[in-house]
A and B are shown apart, each in its own frame.
Chain A
């Protein structure tokens, strides 16, 4: 009897060790791949954000070197993240023209949705683009400009022409079209854009000022 227990113990010990080794190797591999790809991924994301700037505000509308005119701002309540968010500034003949503010909708259906929000100097929206998300393919992913025009609804809106009650999907009594089969995703984005506009309203001068760490 004690022999049997001994054997069982030996077998589970051996299996435990093998399982542990597999876990170690697979997590080790992931960690290694993560470390190798981390910087490259950050570069790619950055490059794709930069490409999208001119989708929101046309290249002909401003004349400064936008990629080297930016700053970082942090506001967890209004910009959805503890991390500093990047702001690009666009100017025309040295007059402030527009900003592209990065923000996060923390409450998407499948985690965070990262956005860039273009705001003209007068506080109206130039446009919004999603830069990173994990929403359901076929339903929530219609927020991608490549997949549908849903995100264009934000163009030209501002806190002045759209009072607080309008910043909801129609189903909730607001002014925005929803997406078929996805309710949480549009809510999260509308909310994040609304808050980003609120942030802009209170920090316009800080956002446009000459302080520039990107030179």
Chain B
């Protein structure tokens, strides 16, 4: 049992990483990873929704007929995301101001429906929970690496905007490597994201094939 859970965690973070292996959720991934902090925030929001939807789907899995499972999953996820957005807007307004614009992006994230279909609809709530957390962490790590790389190359800084997430003190965390009037647009715009992700996938494949 223990072994099986470690396996699920390992798969989510490395051997079946949602961004590097399944190549899912590319729409928000490519759009948002202009800076490290943006990547981190989207990663955290996605993880949260992923865990929620995985557990819900897993609990209800015996009551959902096979033929209509996909529309049911879509409804569950859409309603989960909308409720999270409304609740955050009402009870965590400061956080909402930062995360709010990322939340609608999560509805379009195939990682979530993918895990609902492939994993949560076939496994117990506990395992689905572990799967949600590890897939979420795997996704977040890639977002952070890609966001960090694009931020360094594109605007010559790292941790820009950390204060939005962590409070005023974090303004000092921002490190500027070089200051340019003209940003390196190629890294900031979507083509940079595509190529950056391609390089990460290549690196991952390289590391895996060595073993």
Q: Which residues of A contact B (CB under 8 A)?
A: 11, 14-15, 18-19, 22-23, 26-27, 29-30, 33-34, 36-37, 40-41, 44, 47-48, 133-139, 141, 146-147, 180-181
- How long is the Cα–Cα vector from A141 to B13 in the complex, in angstroms? 30
Which residue of chain B has the shortest Cβ distance to A181 in the bound complex?
A: B189
Which residue of chain A has the shortest Cβ distance to B104 in the bound complex?
A: A134
Known pairs A18-B68, A19-B71, A26-B76; A37 contacts B87 (CB<8 A)? yes
- Answer whether residue B139 sits at the interface, using C-beta atoms and an 8 A cutoff: no
Q: Which residues of B contact A (CB under 8 A)?
A: 31-35, 38, 42, 64-65, 67-68, 71-72, 75-76, 78-79, 82-83, 86-87, 89-91, 93, 97, 100-102, 104-105, 161, 164, 183, 185, 188-189
B-chain residues with CB within 8 Å of residue A133 when the two chains form the complex: 101
- How long is the Cα–Cα vector from A156 to B93 in the complex, in angstroms? 31
> A146 near B32 (CB under 8 angstroms)?
no
* Residue in A27, A48, A137 whose beta carbon sits within 8 Å of that of B42 in the complex: A137
> A40 near B188 (CB under 8 angstroms)?
no
Known pairs A44-B89, A135-B101, A138-B31; A26 contacts B188 (CB<8 A)? no
Tell me the minimal C-beta distance from A86 to chain B in angstroms. Answer: 18
B-chain residues with CB within 8 Å of residue A41 when the two chains form the complex: 86, 89-90
Known pairs A15-B65, A147-B164; A134 contacts B101 (CB<8 A)? yes
Interface of A is mostly: helix
> B86 near A180 (CB under 8 angstroms)?
no
6 residue pairs A–B, Cβ–Cβ below 8 Å: A33-B83, A41-B86, A134-B101, A136-B31, A137-B102, A139-B34
- How long is the Cα–Cα vector from A137 to B90 in the complex, in angstroms? 21
> B83 near A138 (CB under 8 angstroms)?
no
> A19 near B68 (CB under 8 angstroms)?
yes
B-chain residues with CB within 8 Å of residue A137 when the two chains form the complex: 31-32, 34, 38, 42, 101-102, 105
Known pairs A26-B75, A33-B87, A137-B32; A15 contacts B93 (CB<8 A)? no
Which residue of chain A has the shortest Cβ distance to B154 in the bound complex?
A: A180
- How long is the Cα–Cα vector from A27 to B79 in the complex, in angstroms? 7
Which residue of chain A has the shortest Cβ distance to B77 in the bound complex?
A: A26
- The 7 A-B pairs with the shortest beta carbon distances in the complex, nearest first, are A26-B79, A138-B34, A37-B90, A40-B90, A44-B93, A26-B75, A33-B83
Task: Contacts A18-B72, A138-B31 known; list 12 others, CB within 8 Å.
Answer: A14-B65, A15-B67, A15-B68, A18-B68, A22-B72, A30-B79, A33-B87, A48-B93, A136-B101, A137-B105, A147-B164, A180-B183
